Amino acid sequence: MRWFYSEKHELHNPDRELRAGTPTKGFEVARRARIIAAALSNDPDFKLDTLRNYGRELIDRVHSPAMVDWLEEVWRECRPFSDFNEVVPDVFRHSGFDEAGSVSREPKNRPMARLGYYSFDSMTPIVEGTYEASRSAVDVALSALEHTIATGEVSYGLCRPPGHHASTAMIGGYCFFNNAAIAGAEMARRLHGPVAIIDVDYHHGNGTQSIFYGRDDVFYVSLHGAPDRAFPYFLGHRDEDGLGRGASWNHNVELDEGCSDREYLELLARALDVVGQKEVVGAVISLGVDTYENDPISDLGLTRDAYYPMGRLLAELGLPTVVVQEGGYDQIDLGINVRSFLRGIGGLEPAPETRG
């Protein structure tokens, strides 16, 4: 299997995040990508391929150009207001500002207010290299897509920062540009038909859902911790199925605490039956392995044994498929679980450490 990676992800290197009002070590760290890269580099069935550089055009088709401009300048604008390497918002735009038909406006002359206008949490710190790292993550996803379109083979983009919480004009959840959404929109355009984005991260991809909620060119399917207990809380309910042209083009599966391998695989199989009814022509997989039982910020019960059959189930779709990395924060088994999934979706034999 061909995979794609950029060492520029190292430029996004915050020392801390603000969680529950307390500065603390973050979970989304550069070592995550290094662990996965090492696992794939040591497996002869995976070949690191050449990364292409893409411009902004495909980003601007999914994200607000004004937000992209802002993200390029935000660290420089806000750095004078922070005593640390990172900048985080201290005020947020809330939906209440837009009640009674009024529309809140971007505060162009107040850098920290602009930071809160485009952010939805305090756990997504921005450092000097965040923009460049985020641009490189998009290049990783699009390079993988290019290979899949050219060959029909499954490919993998080791994207960092992740992307599925970023919406058209909002960052958060460790995400800045929505790598899966950018790849999915371009895949639909290039293949001249609707595609599926299948999100198996523990956390609901609120950004991906929001981007495509009124569209019928991308079918968004997500299996995730129920929003009454799991970040990002405010979206991801099972009755959210799309709007207007996008009606029936969104499908959420809420997972119970402690969900087992068997339960998860049964729910995934049912979700893929729904995908099969849409006659999609390609698929993007938002791969998060924070569904793992030892992950520090999730509460499911999946073991190492879940990831290979999960990949095999997705392979049965028989579609041109791109896998992009989202979450996964247990650094002990992170590389093992990602490699197991990729061997499954790539039609390879299980790795020795997961062979029953």
- Is 237 noted as a catalytic residue in this protein? no
Query: Residues in the chain, how many?
Result: 356
Looking at residue 353, its pLDDT comes to 67
pLDDT (tens digit per residue) in 5-53: 999 999 999 999 999 889 999 999 999 999 999 999 999 999 999 999 9
119, part of any domain:
no
238, part of any domain:
yes
The CB density around residue 22, as the number of other CB atoms within 10 Å, is 8
Identified catalytic residue from 12, 63, 165, 204:
165
103, part of any domain:
no
Is residue 49 within 8 Å of residue 140, measured between CB atoms? no
Six-digit token string for 228: 């009454």
275, part of any domain:
yes
Give 77 or 21, the one with higher predicted confidence. Answer: 77
Residue 277 sits in which domain range?
2-11+32-50+133-354
What is the domain count for the chain? Answer: 1
Looking at residue 356, its pLDDT comes to 41
Q: How confident is the model at residue 354 (pLDDT cuts 50, 70, 90)?
A: low
The CB density around residue 248, as the number of other CB atoms within 10 Å, is 12
254, part of any domain:
yes
pLDDT (tens digit per residue) in 265-291: 999 999 999 999 999 999 999 999 999
216, part of any domain:
yes
271, part of any domain:
yes
**Identity of the residue numbered 79:** R
Residue 148 sits in a domain of what CATH number?
A: 3.40.800.20
In angstroms, rounded to a whole number, what is the distance separating the alpha carbons of residues 323 and 124?
Answer: 23
